[in-house]
Chain A
Amino acid sequence: MAETQQDAPAQPLLIPEAEDFWQAARRGQLRLQRCSACEHAFFPPRPFCPACGDRRVENFTATGRATLYSYIISHIPAPGHTPPYAIAVVELEEGPRMMTNIVGCPQTPQALRLDMPLQVVFQARGDMTLPLFEPAEPTP
């Protein structure tokens, strides 16, 4: 997908609690957290469980399987992106949702069907490695 990039995406200020997530992305792993007390899986990373407040949380590697919850097809330029491109929110198999881009298929309403199964892929962009998602099955 390198040919679609104008330049690097905007670089966020990295917070310490998210370091494991971004380091793991470089290794091709999608990391989530789970509460040791109530087993709630959550994202973005926090040093406690947002469901029950317990501080005992563990990091674990997600399956990378997800479904397409909602999206828009942006026609607005943004750093690191060439319009039109999909900005999506996906629902991970473990429960949490996250924002991403959908790659490996046309950026059209015909190809992007809500609830379609997706699989995570990792792409280096600038100094970051981003978790993106592609269709798990062939698209029309």
Chain B
Amino acid sequence: MTPNSIAVVGAAESTRMGTVPELGQVALHADAALNALADCQLSPAAIDGLATAGHDPAEIAHYLGLEPAWTDGTSVGGCSFITHVRHAAAAIEAGLCSTVLITHGESGRSGHRTHRPLFPSQFSQQFEVPFGATIPPTKFTLPALRFMKDCNVSEEQLAMVAVVQREWAALHPRATAREPVTVADVLGSRMIAYPFRKLMCCLVSDGGGALVLTSAERANDFPTRPVYVRGTGEAVESPAITWMEDFTTSRAFRASGKAAFAEAGISHADVDHLMIYDAFAHVPLYGLQDLGFVERGEAGAFVAEGHTRPGGRLPMNTNGGGLSYMHSGMYGMYALQEGVRQMRGTSPAQVDGAEVSVVHGVGGMFSAAATVVLTNVA
């Protein structure tokens, strides 16, 4: 993809988030999609490309009344929508379509859905489920003790990830959990899967989000401030946590991040704002190291010293993240939304003068990764 050749012109979340019992999962996709279309003053008829995850794209297209000439149903977990940005940029640049809608909706809390979004792995079903590893809190968390031992992370530092993100959430009116918490609060919350306490685990929410992308030449025809896609990366690693190559570093994170930074032609010093998907508190620590923001063994101290908190030199997860903002199950769309808000200058937790935002997501249990570099500088 040519850097800055594609722009996000429409972006919105569902009208309500958190607990939305009145809408089924497909309707959450549609609610967010209609909000994103209204954001850039387009009608559904203007959409000729559709990407979505967790559903057959035909279901979403038909429900919204779309007739797309290009679809992408890549479904690699919560980072899928970040992957879609990459694929959509390539499709628009190749002339396969001109205006792409990316939709997410998930009834994670109310359960108004027919299936869970992630494809089940035969290896996981055969060789993990019999041992009791049946849900993300007992799978995604498994590498953490090895990471903590080999990368010098204490339980208090792990707790600090949640503490700092709650500080950001306090600035966001739409965040679900906004009350301040301390390290003692986090360590004293209910044990879920040692060393993970409840406040180190993501929320379980209903919600949706959608983006509209088109070529940079058309971007100024819309009422919104264009947010350009400067670089992208994606990677897949293993279908289940047991076969993650190295529990102290994500191969998928490294590959995806390296590709995005190279395409964007940026260094870490250029990054003003960072989103790293946080299904659980350890994931941003992997991201900080594997994307190269800190050296191996430094991420725990980096967060504990306050560098990612409001006023810090690397503002991270400024919506409060999956731990405090919301987490429907496939959170990547909300990380993108905050990246777009920051580049538009409209976030309630706005980083003054931010020009470059990196949005990095994880899919499955460290199974996949996707990264985009966004900028408001054409």
Instruction: Give A residues with C-beta under 8 Å from B.
Output: 9-15, 18, 44, 69-76, 78-81, 84-85, 87, 89, 97-101, 109, 114, 125, 128, 130
Contact = CB atoms under 8 A, between A and B. Distances in A.
Given A70-B146, A89-B242, 15 more contacts: A69-B247, A70-B147, A71-B145, A72-B138, A72-B196, A73-B191, A73-B193, A73-B194, A74-B137, A75-B193, A78-B132, A78-B133, A87-B133, A99-B242, A101-B132
B247 A80 contact: no
Contacts of A79: 132, 134
B126 A80 contact: no
B247 A78 contact: no
7 contacts: A15-B122, A70-B145, A70-B147, A71-B142, A72-B196, A84-B194, A87-B138
A125 to B, nearest CB: 7
B192 A99 contact: no
Q: At the interface, is chain A mostly helix, strand, loop or mixed?
A: strand
Contacts of B129: 9-10, 12
A75 B123 CA distance: 24
Contact of A114 (B145, B191, B195, B241): B145
A111 to B, nearest CB: 12
B152 interface: no
Nearest to A70: B146
A9 B192 contact: no
A22 to B, nearest CB: 9
B159 to A, nearest CB: 16
A40 to B, nearest CB: 14
A99 B146 contact: no
Interface residues of B, number: 34
Nearest to B196: A72
B126 A70 contact: no
B94 interface: no
Contact of A9 (B131, B190, B191): B131
A8 to B, nearest CB: 9
Nearest to B123: A44
Contacts of B243: 97
A74 to B, nearest CB: 5
Contacts of B218: none
Interface string B116-153: 00000011011111111111011001111111010000
A130 B145 contact: no
A98 B131 CA distance: 11
Contacts of A114: 145-146, 149
Nearest to A85: B132
B247 A128 contact: no
Nearest to B155: A109
B192 A75 contact: yes
B85 to A, nearest CB: 31
A118 B333 CA distance: 42
Contacts of B123: 44
Nearest to A69: B146
A76 B143 CA distance: 18
A95 to B, nearest CB: 13
A25 B334 CA distance: 45
Nearest to B240: A99
A87 to B, nearest CB: 5
A74 B138 contact: yes
A70 B144 contact: yes
B293 to A, nearest CB: 24
Contacts of B241: 89
A72 B145 contact: yes
A125 B130 CA distance: 9
B144 A74 contact: no
A39 B59 CA distance: 47
A106 B191 CA distance: 17
